Every structure is written in C-alpha cells, then in structure tokens.
Structure 1
Amino acid sequence: MRRFLVSAIALSLATGSAGALAQTSAAMPSLQAQATTQLPRNVRPTHYDVAIVPHAASLSFDGRVTIAIDVLEPTTSITLNQIDMTFSSVRLAPEGGKGKFAAPKVAVDQEAQTATFTFDRPIPVGQYTLAMDYTGKIGTQANGLFAIDYDTKAGKKRALYTQFENSDARRMIPSWDEPAHKATFTLEATVPTGEMAVSNMPVASSADLGGGLTRVRFAPSPKMSTYLLFFGLGEFERATAQTDGVEVGVVTQKGVVSQAKFALESSQAVLHEYNDYFGVPYPLPKLDNVASPGRSQFFGAMENWGAIYTFEYALLLDPTISTQSDKQSVFSVAAHEIAHQWFGDLVTMSWWDDLWLNEGFASWMEGRTTEKLHPEWNTALSAVDVRERAMSLDAVATTHPVVQHVETVEQASQAFDSITYSKGEAVIRMLEGYVGADAWRDGVRRYMKAHAYGNTVSDDLWRQIEAAAGKPVTSIAHDFTLQPGVPMIRVEQASCAGGKTTLTLSQGEFTKDRPDKATLSWRVPVIAQVVGNRDIARTLVEGGHAKLDVPGCGPVVVNAGQSGYYRTLYAPKQFAAISAGFTRLAPIDQLGLMNDTWALGLAGQQPASDYLDLVKATPPDADPQIWGDVAASLDSLDAYYRGDAERQARFRRFAIKQLAPVLARVGWEEKPGEADPVKILRTQLISTLGELGDSTVIAEARRRYAAQASDPGAMPAALRKTILAVVAHHADAATWNRLHAEAQAEKTPLVKDELYALLSSTQDETLAKRALELALTDEPGATNSAGMISMVSGLHPDLAFDFAVAHRAQVDGMVDTTSRSRYYPGLGYGSLDPAMVGKIKAYAAAHVAAGSRRASDTAIANVQYRIKVRNERLPAVDGWLQKHD
C-alpha cells in the first residue's frame, strides 16, 4: 500500500498451471499454528467461492459465499469475521454431502467484528463446505466495497471499488480476514450490462441474463490473503500491453485511458526488472492498474494481486495540470505497488507485527528501481529525505520498533506510518550496503523461493540474507528493528598521521524530547571518507565506541554516501572543518550534513544557527535537490514564527534573499534540454517564495492567472498547480469566489479535486472558515471533504481541529474508518498553542480506545516539541539573523 502524504505496492511466483497457482506452502500448517490471530484456531479456510450482486443506487449488495474449510479439532461453533452483514441462510455440509448439519444459531458481534455459528452437535475433524447467503452495505469511503461518484461531461457517474487492507474484506465477505489465513478465491458478480467488472484474475466467463444484467465469473486466484482480493465495476475502458508473457493493463473511467499511458509503460518496465531481480517470475496471467477518482486519508494506492488500485491523482497524467513531480510520482507508485506483488502478495507477513516486510521492502524497491530505470531524475538524494521522515518520528517518546506488537484492528491501521515505511526502507538500504548488493539480492531470491504462497516473520528473511552473505546480519537487524530510536554517532576527535586520519567515534542516541533519556545500544555500520578522497573506510561501532582509520588527511565525512540510519554529531572543530569544505562534498553528503545539522540544531545538540551558515554556504548552482531541501526547511522554520509579524518579517527577508537568486537563475520558463530536477526545483521555489510573501513572485503568479484567458502560455501545465497555489494562498474574497466557480464548473475529477483542495489553502482565516463550511456539503465530493479540512489545518491547525471536533458526527462519515483515530489528532499537529495538548488528550479520551492512542500521543509530542523550538531555539536564530541582516 502506498501511503500519502508520504507512499505502497506488490507481485508473485511462476508455475505454469492453474493447479500450481493454487498450491499450498508446505510450511503453512506450522506457520498457521504460530500466527497471531483474533479468531479460534480450530477452523481453516482453503477456498472461497463468492457471488455478489451489487445495488449501486441503494448502496447495498446481496452476497453468497461457499467456503471450503478444514475443521482441525472437534467444535460446536465456527467463528469468522464480518461487519454490517445480515445472514439469511447458513449451511454446513461435509465434503461429499452426507450428514448435513441443521441450520445453526447465528450470533453477530459488531464490536468484535465477528459472526459465530453454533450447531446442535459437534463438528468432527474433517473437510466441509460452509455456505452463507447474506446482505451487506456499500460505503462511500474507501473501506470494504465502496462507491465513488464523479463528474464527467456526460453527467454524474458512480463506480464501485474495494479496499480491504488492513481488515475490511469482512465488509464484503464473511471470512477469516487475517493475513495468515491464505486461501484461493473464485469471484462471480452480477452487474449492469455494458459496465466493466475487474478483479485479480481475468474474466473466465460472461453470460447475459437479460433485463440489463450480466453475470461475470473470474478465473480462480492463487493462494492469497483476504486483504488482497479486489473487485471494481463501472463505465471503464482498458488499455493493455504484453511484458514477459503477462498482460499488463490500465483501467480508467471512460475517456481518459490515454492519460495512463506513462503508467502502463512504467508498469511494463518495472515488471520486467522485478522478474529478474526476484528470480521468481510474476505468476498471474495479467497485472492491471485500476484508476479511481477521489481520495483517501489513509492511502494512495493498494497492491491487490493482479489488480492494483490507485487514485487518479497518483496514476494519471492530465496534460492540462500534471507536473514533472507528478510524472515521477506515477513511476514511484508503480514501482512500489508492483514490488508488493512479491513482498506482500506472494510472500505475506504472518501478522501485522511484521507489516514492514511488506511496506519497508516495497518502499526500498521503489527507490532502488526509480534510481536504476530513470537515472536522469537523479533520485539518489531522495534516500536522505526518506530517512529524515523516519527519524523525525523515531526520535520522540511515542515511537515504536519497526517490528511492533499489534493486537487490534485499529492498531494494525496505525502501523502504516513512517516507521514502517521509511525506517524500514532506510534500514534495508543500510543492511544492503553492509552485506553488498549482490549478496542482498541473492538472499532475497532465496527468501522468495523458500516462502512462496506462504507467510513469514522477519527472522525468516534474516536467515536467508545471512546464508547468502556469510555475515552476521541478524544481530544488526535486530538492533534496528526490534528496538525504537535513532543512534547518534559522535565524532569526538580526529588526527592525521602517515597519510590517514584516525577518528574517535562514540555511539549515543538522538532524541528530540528526552535529553536525559538512558541511551540504547546499537551495532552501527559506519562508512567514512576524507573530503575529496575516493577511498572509504568501514567499521562497526559496537559496544558504544570505535576508532577508525580513514585513508587521506583532511575533513572527514562520517556516513559517507548517507546509507546509515543514524545522526552524525561532529565536535565543533570537526564541524567547522567540514563546513569550510562544504562545496567539495558530494551532493548526497551535503544534503546529509544539512539534515543532521537542522535536526541536531532544533533539538539543542548544536547551535541552531549552524544550519543557516550552511544555507549561506550553498552556491546558486548546487544540485537542484539541495536547493529544494533548503526551500522546504526555510518554509518549515518560517512556520515557527506564525503570530509574530516583526520577527517573521526579519526571517523572511533572509529566506527570500537566499532563494530569489536561485529562482532568477532557473527562471519561470522551461528551457530546451533542461534537466528534470530543475523543472521540479522551479515549482518548489515559486511555491516557497510565494508562501514566504515574496512580492515579486506573488505579483507574477497573479499576472499569469489573470492573463490565462488571453495568453495560453501564461499558465503552462507544468506550472498551473503551482501558480494556482500561490494565488489561492494569498486570495482575497473575489479571487476565492472565482476559484470556487472554477471548481464547480470543472468536469475532470483530477482537476476538480485539486481546485477544491486549493480553496482550503488560503492564509485568510475568514476564507479558511468558508472552506471548512464548504467541506461539510455534498459539493466537493464524499472523499474530498476530509482532505479539505486537513488542508486548512496546514495554516490554521487550531481552527481546523476545533471545527472538525465540533462537527464530528458529520466529519466521521467523510473519513475512512482506518484513518479516524489519527485524522483528528493530525489536524492539530502543527499547532503552537499549548491548549492544543489538552484538546487532543480530551478527544482521545472520549473517542479513541486506550490501546490505540499512539497517533494522539504523537501529535501531542509534536505540538510540545514545536513550542519548545519556538521558545528555546528561535532566539539563537534571531540573534544570527540580526547579525547577518
């Protein structure tokens, strides 16, 4: 699954026959016995035969399922998962049909999300079929079977899709809805004639029933977890291509399939790359990417095996509004979701404790594959940004280990965070660097072949990597995945003799909110390099201390190449030396140094103003991604000054003085042959300078917006979103009304959704209130309203949080259930008001289960940290600014 704001994805193994696809893993019984479960262990499903009749207009459906089960020990009852179902008939029969059981008593427990069928006599060990007729609900948010309404030039349309991860297959099928309960599936649907039905496997048969209905039956699936089943229905069109014997497709609403051309081409390239990398060919006959209008607060894409579901904004490239960043995101999503077809679909974690085996690996494959197949994008530096996302969350008291204990459905939903995704990815990158890329790949191949169609825990992977690499990976991996937190390597001393520099290193712990915390211990792989020297040195900091001899004499970069998951804190003398040679560092090490300095400065580990010194040392022709990161950091620092106009004005003069010359160098107009990273930097600079109040940029954005009717070149597609964002940010009532009218008139969902989001990005509090009120109406669309409220919270966190809580009954219906426990606290995340701490605590106490308050606690920790930065760090920044103004 691809998380947004961040990012997700999956694939499988080859056999060559339908029977082989359905084969079971020999290791499954023992894994089944070991797996965490919320259901009794006495019954196991092996195959589901599902038939549904959706009634889109009434948001309901009729269902029938026959499940082949193994009863593993005598029992008088069978318990499985369900939500919001009404059962009209339940039947149990032994294999062969002899000795049928009387209809059982049915007990539904909505809180536990189960149904229990109690029979009048014990069920002996053996094989049975459990058949149920039932009805269920179609939702309007991305949980279970749900509907999306969208505008077209021909009028309003409604499409149906499913989203089952993590625990929502139970909304469409009464089932053993847990990852270790793998089974095969045959799906049948009775649908309106003329609409296209899509599932994991190709259509096996289709029959016209008359009366405007058609029965569609799909081929049997491979053995897989319930959360990977998919069904989609609507007025779709499909384009296909062949890659390595697999039909790769894109499915979109009618009329826009051409906008998925790049996604189709990307999927072909990625599939071919992964067939080679994993050493196990993709086993299904087809791989579709299904595009859907709308949004979710939980995810952007989902790796259903053979039928990846992706919201349009993450899959389509609209020629009127899409940017270079959008194009790269489309590829990244494809790389992530297709990686899941192996890591997640073919081999699945046994329980949500090891979710990172899915998401960390898909994220890592996404970055690795983007860098390999599109070197012109120069995305290697993005690994530093990934690490920063993880460390920011990992350095506060509310963090958790990568491998985490999950007990409830809500806790499983909360496991989809930056620790799981980004720290997982960063740790994999570090370990791959430690054992070597070839050995790592060989270990991954062994893991895939050993556990295909089965379930695993993290140590299953470490065993295969160790066997391939011949290095003690498990102990290091355990340090970084079984305990939380961020190691900090102190560079305490450096001396040069005999052509080498000797470093004295010690290991501490980086924390943002616990200066007196007892330090944990890690075995940390460290790579160091003298600036300007090609040779590197490696060591394992073990037991808290190490000495390292580095070839050459001069300033030394620790964590050279930035593959390590740790902060580097240089002693003042070493920091001064490396800062003086900043322009000689490789771009990725410039970025690593800047990010460490930023984080350590705000946490009080070194002067906060050190970061500003590095900004001043950054030349205008530095790597575009360096300037993009600088722009983001200055924008972030500016937010700490909200509510203090005089101090903020001084900071903004400095920030604009640094960024404006870079924009002048890049220009507003794209140049022939311009590098792709420069195209992205242009949008970043315009956006940030607009937010910083640069009058020149604001005036130019307004000029272009006003001129678009008479000058088609005033707002090129590559800049349209950026210009609109600047205009919306500084909108007055008349401009806001004009943008609102444009949103109402727009018939393209991808563009319409963007316009409604922009209405929520205004800095004017009165207009922000209008956006909040608009979000409660039907106008923006059922899946856009929650996003509008979130957008308001970016500039007005206290306003948005208070509004959402005051209208919770309405807002709850606009947020997918998997997101609610973190949605509301997230609105207050950026607050600088101490009162927000009490508000979030009160919300959590009233509405979130005691064991599921990590999101609330994290939001509280972030608010407290922001207040601390404002009170304790900004004075030093002010002093530096006054000195350099």
Structure 2
Amino acid sequence: MRRTLAAAITFALSVAATDAFAQAAMPRQDTAPPVVNATTQLPRTVRPTHYTIAVVPHAQSLTFDGNVKIALDVLQPTDKIVLNAVDMTFPKATLSGAKGKPMAAKVSTDKDTQTATFSFDKPLATGSYVLELDYTGKIGTQANGLFAIDYENKQGKQRALYTQFEASDARKFIPSWDEPNYKAVFDLSADVPKDYMALSNMPVAESKDLGNGLQRVKFQTSPKMSTYLLFFGVGDFERATKQVGDTQIGVVAQRGSVDQAKFALDSSADVLKEYNDYFATPYPLPKLDNVASPGRSQFFGAMENWGAIYTFEYALLLDPTISTQSDKQGVFSIAAHEMAHQWFGDLVTMSWWDDLWLNEGFATWMAARTTQKLHPEWNTVLGKVNQREAAMGLDSVATTHPVVQKVETVEQAAQAFDSITYQKGSAVIGMLEGYVGADAWREGVRAYMKKHAYGNTVSDDLWNAVQEASGTPIVDIAHDFTLQPGIPLITVESATCAGGKTTLHLKQGEFTRDRPGKQSLAWRVPVIAQSVGGQPVRTVVQGGTGTLEVPGCAPVVLNAGQSGYYRTLYTPQHFATIRDKFTSLAPIDQLGLMNDIWALGMAGLQPSSDYLDLAKRVPVDADPQIWGDVADSLRGLDRYYEGTGERQARFRKFAVATLRPVMAHVGWDAKPGEPDPVAIQRTDLIAALSQLGDEQVIAEARRRFAASETDPNAMPAPLRRTILGVVASHADAATWDKLHTMAKNEKTPLVRDQLYTMLSIADDAAIAQKALDLALTDEPGETNSAGMIAAVAGDHPDMAFDFASAHRDEVGKRVDSTSSSRYYPGLANGSLDPAMVGKLRAYADKYIAAGSRRPTDTAIATIEYRTKVKQDRLPAIDTWLKKNGG
C-alpha cells in the first residue's frame, strides 16, 4: 500500500507546507483510561481454506446482503468458531460436516474485539466442515471495507463502489479470519447493474442477466491469499489493456477518462517485464488491473490488491490541463510500488503485522530502484536521501520503534504504516544490498520467493535466504538495524594524512534529538568512505570504534553514495575542508552532507548556521534537487521565524536573495529539450519564493491567473496548479470566491478535488475559516472534507485542531476509521503554541486508546521540539545573517 497524507496530495499544499524538519516524538507520562481494542488475534482452533462469497450491494441505501460458504478445518475440538466481523447481522448460520445434517449455530458479536462467535451444543470433532452464513453489512462513505464514492462528470452524478481491506477491514465485507496468515482461496460473485462493470482480483468467469436490470457476475477462483488482498469494485467504468506474455495488463477508470491512464498502462507493462526478470518467478495471475477512483483517503493513496490494484485518480491519471512532471513521476513510482507488492506481500506475505515492513520497505526500495533503472533521465537516485530523512525524522526521538515492531490491536496495525516501516525499511535494504552486492542480493530474493510462494514469512526468512545466496554474514547486521530502534552516529574523531593515505579514527554513538545524555545502542555499521575524486573504501564499524585508511590526502566523505543508514559528525576542521570542496562532491553526497549538517545543527551538535554556509556555496547551475533541498530548508526556517517581525523579515530578505538568481536561471517558461528535473525545480522555486513573500513571484502568478481568462497559454498545464496554489495562498475574499466558483463548476473529479484543496491553503485566517466551514457541508464531497481541514492546518494548525475538535462528530464521519487516532493530533503537528500540548493530552485522554497514542506523542514532541529550535537555534542563525548580509 502506498501510504499518503491528505496534506501531501496536491502540489498546492506544498505552498502551505508544514515543517518537514520537525518530526519528533516523546514519551507520555500521564495515565490513560481503560479502552477498547484488546489483542485482536483469533483463536488457533480453526483454519479456513476456501470462501465462496455472493453479495448483493444496495448502493442507494448503503447496505448489502451476503452469503458465504467457508470451507474450514477444525484443528482441535472446540464448541465455538470465532472469526472477525464488523457491523454485520446474521439471519442464518449453519455448519455442515462430511456426515450428518447441518447444525444451527448460536451467534454473538463483540464490537470491541470485532468478532462474531458461532457456538454449538457440543464440541466439534477435528475434521473438515462448511460454515454457511447469510449476513447483512453496511456500505461506507470513507475508504474502509465496501464503500461508495460519489462524483460528478460529464455524464452526470455517479456512484461507484470499491473495497479497501488493509489492514483489518475485510471483516466489514465478509465474516472471515481477517489475519494475514490465514490464507485461503476465494470465489466471488455479485449482483450488479447490468450496464456497469464489475471487477475483482481475477477475470470474470461468467455473467448472467437476471432480467431485473441486474446481472450476476462470477469471477474465477483466486489463488491462495490473505483476506486483506481481496478486491471488489463496480461502476460506470472503462478498461484499456495491453498484453505482456501470459498477463493482460489493464487500467480501469470512470467512463471518459481511461485515456488519462495511458502512461500508467504503458509503465505497468514495462515494470511487469522488469519484475518477472528480477524475481525469476513470473507473475502468476492471468490479469493485473490498476483501478482508478475519484476521491481520496487520509490513510493511503493506492493498495496492492492481488491482480486489482486500487489507486486514487490523483495518483494514476494524468489530466492534460493540470498534471505536472512531478505527477508523471509519481504515477510511475506508485505503480512500481504496488506492482512490487504482487510478489512481496501478495505472493509471499508477512505472518503478522509485526513484519509489515517486509511488504512496505521492500516495495519502497524496489520502486525507487526500478524508477531509476527504467527512467534514468529523471535522475531520481537522489531521492533515497530524502526517503532516509523521512525515516530519521521519526527515528531520532524517544517514541520511535524498531522496523520489526510489536502490533497487538487494529489501531496499532494501522499506525504501523509509517516512515519507519516504509523509508527506514527501504534504507536498510539498500544498505544491505550495497554490502553483499546487487547480484547476490537478487539471488537471495529469488530463492526466498521460490521457497515461500503462497505462504507467510518473518524477517529472518529473508535474511537467511540472502546470507545463504551471498555467502556474506548479514543476519547480525540486519538484526541491529531492524530489531532495535534509532540511528547510529559515526563521529570522525580524527583524520590524518601520512604516506599518501588518510587514516580515519571513527567512533559509533547514537543520534538523538531529545535525549542528549542517552546511553548509545550498539550497531554493526557498514561504512563507505571516499576521498574527493578517489575510490570508495569499505569497512564495518563494530564494537563502538573503527579505523579506516583511504588513499590520498584529499578531504574524505563518509557514507559516500549515501547507502548507509547513519549520521556522520565531522570535526570542525574536517567539515571546513569538505565545505570548501563542496562543489567537487557528487550531487548525492552534496545532498547527504547537507541533510546531516541540517539535522546535527538543529540538534545542537554543531552550529546551526553551518547549513547556510553550505547553501551559499551551491552554484546556480547545481543539480536541481540540491536547490530543492535548499528551498525546502529555507521554507522550514521561515516557519520557525513566524511571529518574530523584523527577524523574519531579515531572514526572508536573505532567503529570497538566495533563490531569486536560481529562479532567474530557470525562468517561468519551459525551454525546448529541458530536462525533467528542471521542470520540477521550477515549481519548487515558485512555491518556495511564494511562501517567503517574494512580491515578484506573487505578482507574476497573479498576472498569469488574471490573463488566463483570455489567454489559455498564460497558465500552461505544467504550471497551472503551481500558479493556482500561489494565488490561493495569498487570496483575498474576492479571489477566494472566484476559486470557489471554479471548483463548483468543474466537472472533472480529479481537477475538482484539487481546487477544493486550493480553497484551504489561504494565509488569511478569516478566509481559512471559510474553508473550514465549507469542509463540513456536502459540497466538497465526503472524501475531500478531511483533506481540506488538514490543508488549513498547514498554515493554521491551532485553528484547524480547535475546529475539528469542536466538530468532532461531524468531522469523524469524514475521516477513515483507520486514521482517526492520528488524524486529529496530526492537525496540531505544526503548532508553535505550547498550550497545544495540554489540548492534545486532554484530547487523547478522552478519545484515544492507551496503546494507540504514538501519533499524539509525536505531535506533542514536535511542538516541544519546534519551540526548542526557535529558542535555542535561531539566535545563531540571526548572528550568521548579520555577518553575511541578511
């Protein structure tokens, strides 16, 4: 599953970006009341083998009827069968054995444990049975279980149905053993409108006209798989296909928009060929669809249902009027991520959510690797540094968790989808691949895939397969980085050159932002060092210290190539030599160095102004992604300066003066043959300069917006959303009303959704309040409202949190059930008001289970961290600015 946040759905929100450098968490000391959600794992007395499901959705009433026949094995005598079920009633429940007449079951349900229990008068003997259930269920309006999406297009008002089951929502569609290690095969049929298309994991086996405007669609039997991978969808769809070997690749979208999925279709065909080769296990299903859906979720952007990937339109379609090069790259990356799951997650599945990273970390790494290989012109290799930073933001504080984590409840399973699972998991894989070699790593993955196909695994199954294939001991290193939390800190204690060699003395500690006196954990750390212009040298730092000899006397960079998951701290003298040779470093090492210096500076381990020393040395024609990092960092500092008056004005003067020459070099208009990274750089710079109050950029965006009424070229498609974002963030009441009219009149759901987000990013508090009020009406659509409130939180976190808390009943209807415990604290994440800490604690005590408070702790610590940075780090920035013309 490709996790997403509502505040990151559109580029418009980057104009109102929250502080990406303030992710933190700290432990809570207060006690919590007893709450629901005990351990959710089921008894191990019964195992299902085959589900035969028949459903009749009633889309208008948001209910459905179901019948399921579950073939199962009783493994030890028991007088009850316990499975998962949510919001269901059971008019009929019978159990049949190989002999004897069916037995009626007494049914009881437990809302808190999300279970249904079927009890019998006497214990069942071991053996095979069929449990047949008639049941009714609910169709939701958020992306959980079976849900409806309402939208309007040129054909009029529409309603489509889809399913979303990961982590624990298949139990809303079928009574089932809804745990990943209870794999079974599935037969699904559904009665649906005869002029609609129905979809599932497998192709349609047969379709029968029922004579009442309905058809009964029966799908082919699925392979053995986990419940969370089952998919069903029905609506007014179109489908386009391509053939890749024995597999039919398809894209499915609302009628009239399937052409916008052509890039996704072509990309999926390319990726499938690559993955068939890499895994050496051909994709086993006859078809692989990617289904586009209007709307959005606060929890995810796409889902890897086997043979029927589900993706929101903003992440799959490319609308020619508004899509950007970033969107195109995102479509490819997301498709590659979900397709990697067809092997890592679908064919081979983690045994329990503790090892979720086996799915998500691997798919994140595989998507990045494949994007770089198939589209080298995008130069996405530097992206692994940004992914690593996303993980380190959470991993450097007290409430972090290991990659392999303990999951007990439904909410904890939902919260496991975070940057540690995705980005740290990916970074650890990249580090270990670099350690054993790409070919050996691939052979280990191939062996793992063949051995465990259609089964379930734990992390050690992968480590052992790679270790055996490579002949290189990696299990201990892997355990260090996945079974304990935190980030190694490699300190270069000295670097001396003699006899044409530089000798480095290294010390391993731990990088943490909130525990300066913490006793360091121990890691075995693969380290790569390289002198400027030289060849890389490798070692493993273990036992807390290490010595490394590097040929030559040029400045030496640690973590050369940036494959390692650790921070590097240089002595002031060593840093100065690297700083002076900054432009001689490879771009990826420039980016890695800048991110280390930023983090170390904000943590107080070296001067916070050292980052600005590096930024001053970045040439105008540097790699666009280097300037992207500078722009993001300057925007982050600007957030810290909010409310400081003249101090912020001084900083903004410096920041604008730093970025304007780069903007002038890039220009507003694309040049023929321009590299793709430059197109993205242009939008990054416009967004950054807009936030920094650059009147030139704001005026030009307004001019182009006004001119677009008569000149269609004034806002070319690659810049349209960026320009609208600038205009919206600086909107007055009249401009907001104009954008509001555009949103109401828009008939393309993809564009319409983005316009409603634009309405939510105004700097002006009074206009932001209008967006909040609008979010709780029916106008934006059920799945847009929560995203609008999150967008307001980008600039007005206190206002958004207070509003959502005051209207919790109404907001709660518009938030995914899997996201509730993190959605509300997430709104407050950017607050600079210490009083928000008390509000969050009071909210958590009242509404959030004791075992589900990590997001609340994260938000609290973020506020405390930001306060500390503002108090302790900005004075050094002020001093630097005075010395350097700020």
TM-score range, shorter chain: over 0.9
Residue 164 of structure 1 and its aligned partner are, at CA, apart by 0.2
Is the 1:7–1:299 Cα contact (8 Å) retained in structure 2? no
Which residue is 2:587 aligned to?
587
Q: Which residue in the other structure is 2:490 paired with?
A: 489
For 1:433, give the aligned amino acid: G
- The yes-or-no answer on 1:686 pairing with 2:689 is no
Corresponding residue of 2:70 = 67
User: 2:813 maps to what in 1?
Assistant: 813
**Alignment match, 1:627:** 627
- Give the match's secondary structure for 2:754: helix
Report the CA distance between 1:800 and its aligned residue. 0.5
Aligned to 1:30: none
Deviations 1:48-98 (A, max 9, x none): 000000000000000000000000011111010000001000010013xx3
CA distance in 2, matches of 1:740, 1:506: 58
3-state DSSP of counterpart to 1:688 = helix
* Contact 1:398–1:861 (8 Å) recurs in 2: no
SS of the residue corresponding to residue 210 of structure 2 reads strand
Aligned equivalent of 1:20: none
Which residue does 1:775 correspond to in 2? 775
Letter in structure 1 aligned against 2:500: G
CA distance in 1, matches of 2:271, 2:798: 43
For 1:705, the aligned partner's letter is F
Aligned to 2:789: 789
Whether contact under 8 Å (2:40, 2:113) holds in the other structure is no
* 1:115 paired residue number: 116
**Corresponding residue for residue 547 of structure 2:** 547
Does residue 1:43 correspond to 2:46, yes or no?
yes
Q: Deviation of residue 260 (structure 1)? A: 0.1
Separation in 2, partners of 1:488, 1:244: 48
**What is the DSSP-based 3-state SS (H/G/I as helix, E as strand, rest coil) of the residue aligned with 2:683?**
helix
Q: After superposition, where does 1:249-398 map in structure 2 within 5 Å?
A: 249-398=250-399
In the TM superposition, what is the alpha-carbon distance from 1:244 to its structure 2 partner?
2.0
Report the Cα offset of residue 181 of structure 1: 0.1
Would the aligned equivalents of 2:357 and 2:403 in 1 still touch at CA under 8 Å? yes
CA–CA separation in structure 2 for the residues paired with 1:661 and 1:244: 51
Give the match for residue 715 of structure 1.
715
- Aligned counterparts of 1:367 and 1:262: Cα–Cα separation in 2: 18
Deviation, structure 1 residue 554: 1.3
Please state whether the residue corresponding to 1:619 is helix, strand or coil.
coil
Q: SS of the counterpart of 1:741? A: helix
Give the Cα–Cα distance (whole angstroms) in 2 for the partners of residues 440 and 831 of structure 1: 44
Matches within 5 A, 1:65-214: 65-95=68-98, 98-214=99-215
Q: CA deviation at 1:395?
A: 0.3
TM-score (norm 2): 0.96
The superposition leaves residues 331-352 of structure 1 with CA deviations (integer Å, 9 ceiling, x where unpaired) of 0001100000000000000000
Partner SS, residue 2 of structure 2: coil
Contact 2:96 2:103 in 1 (8 A): no
| Aligned-residue offset at 1:612 | 0.4
TM-superposed deviation, 1:154: 2.2
Measure the CA separation in 2 of the matches of 1:404 and 1:667. Answer: 47
C-alpha contact 1:198 1:232 (8 A) present in aligned 2: yes
Point out 4+ residue stretches in structure 1 off by more than 4 angstroms.
none
Residues 7, 300 of structure 1: 8 Å contact kept: no
Identify the residue that residue 28 of structure 1 maps to in structure 2.
none
The 3-state SS of whatever aligns with 2:598 is: helix
Residue of structure 2 equivalent to 1:636: 636
Q: Secondary structure at the match of 1:611?
A: helix
Q: 1:241-256 maps to which residues of 2 (within 5 A)?
A: 241-256=242-257
- The residue type paired with residue 85 of structure 1 is M
- The one-letter code matched in structure 1 to 2:181 is A
Q: Work out the number of aligned pairs and report it.
A: 855
Question: Conserved in 2, the CA contact under 8 Å of 1:169 and 1:175?
Answer: yes
Q: Offset of 1:714 from its aligned partner? A: 0.3
Does the 8 Å contact 1:323/1:719 carry over to 2? yes
Tell me how far apart the structure 2 counterparts of residues 325 and 810 of structure 1 sit (CA, whole Å): 34
2:203 and 2:220 in contact (8 A); partners too: yes
Q: Is the 8 A contact 1:536 1:551 kept in 2?
A: no
User: Given that residues 821 and 848 in structure 1 are in contact (C-alpha distance below 8 angstroms), is that contact kept between their aligned partners in structure 2?
Assistant: yes
Residue 319 of structure 1, CA deviation: 0.2
- Counterpart code for 1:829: N
Kindly state the Cα deviation for residue 4 of structure 1 after the two structures are TM-superposed. Answer: 1.4
1:37 positional shift: 6.7
1:850 has 2:853 as partner: no
**Preserved CA contact (<8 Å) 1:355 1:420:** yes
Residue 7 of structure 1 deviates from its aligned partner by 10
Deviations 1:611-631 (A, max 9, x none): 000000100010001001111
Distance in 2, matches of 1:817 and 1:834, equals 29
Report the Cα distance in structure 2 between the residues aligned to 1:376 and 1:77, rounded to whole angstroms: 60
Matched, 1:52 2:55: yes
SS of 2:466 mapped into structure 1: helix
**1:645 Cα deviation from its structure 2 partner:** 2.1
What amino acid is the match of 1:611? Y
Letter matched to residue 87 of structure 2: D
Q: Read off the aligned partner of 2:580 and give its amino acid letter.
A: A
The answer on 1:399 being equivalent to 2:400 is yes
Counterpart secondary structure, 1:365: helix
In structure 1, how many angstroms separate the alpha carbons of the residues matched to 2:478 and 2:387? 18
One-letter amino acid matched to 2:551 = P
Equivalent pair of 1:321/1:718 in contact (CA under 8 Å): yes
Distance 2:830 2:199 in 1: 41
Q: Read off the aligned partner of 1:708 and give its amino acid letter.
A: S
* 1:167-189: CA deviation from partner (whole Å, max 9, x where unpaired): 00000100000000000000000
Which residue does 1:14 correspond to in 2?
Answer: none
Show the counterpart of 1:22: none
C-alpha contact 1:7 1:333 (8 A) present in aligned 2: no
Q: Aligned in 2, Cα 1:404/1:7: closer, same or farther, shift over 3 Å? A: farther
Post-superposition CA distance 1:543-593 (Å, at most 9, x none): 110010011111000000000000000000100000000000000000000
Matching residue's letter, 1:749: P
Q: Which has the higher contact order (CA 8 A, sep 6+)?
A: 2
Cα displacement (A) at 1:709: 1.5
Q: CA RMSD in A?
A: 1.0
Q: Is the 8 A contact 1:179 1:349 kept in 2?
A: yes
> Which runs of no fewer than 5 residues in structure 1 stay unpaired?
9-35
Unaligned runs of 5+ in 2: 10-38
Matched residue, 2:676: 676
Asked if 1:219 corresponds to 2:220, the answer is yes
Deviating more after overlay: 385-394 vs 641-650: 641-650
TM-aligned CA deviation for residue 102 of structure 1? 2.9
Q: Distance in 1 between matches of 2:101 and 2:860?
A: 57
**Distance in 1 separating the partners of 2:517 and 2:318:** 50
Q: Contact (CA 8 Å) 2:40, 2:410: kept in 1 or not?
A: no
Deviation for aligned residue 1:287: 0.1
Per-residue Cα deviation, 1:728-784 (whole angstroms, up to 9, x for no partner): 010000000000010000010100000000110000000001100000101000000
Look up the equivalent residue of 1:378 and give its one-letter code: N
Check conservation: 1:102, 1:120, Cα contact below 8 A: no
Q: For 2:860 and 2:484, locate their aligned partners in 1 and report how far apart those are by CA, in whole Å.
A: 22
Given the alignment of the two structures, is residue 568 of structure 1 paired with residue 571 of structure 2, yes or no? Answer: no
Whether the 8 Å contact between 2:77 and 2:123 is mirrored in structure 1 is yes
TM-score (norm 1): 0.96
Contact 1:145 1:171 in 2 (8 A): yes
Identity level (%): 71
Does structure 2 retain, via aligned residues, the 8 Å contact 1:181–1:225?
yes
Equivalent residues of 1:384, 1:562 under 8 A apart: yes
Matched to 1:824, the amino acid is Y
2:604 maps to 604
Match of 1:17 in 2: none
- Rounded Cα–Cα distance in structure 1 between residues aligned with 2:284 and 2:663: 49
What is the deviation of 1:245? 1.6
Q: Which amino acid is 1:77 matched to? A: K
Q: Distance in 1 between matches of 2:103 and 2:598?
A: 69
Comparing 645-654 with 321-330, greater Cα deviation is found at: 645-654
Spell out, residue by residue over 1:485-526, the C-alpha distance to the aligned partner (whole angstroms, 9 max, x if none).
011100111111122110010011111111111111100000
* 1:412-461 Cα shifts (integer Å, max 9, x gaps): 00000000000000000000000000000000000000100000000001
Q: After alignment, is 471-480 or 98-107 more displaced?
A: 98-107
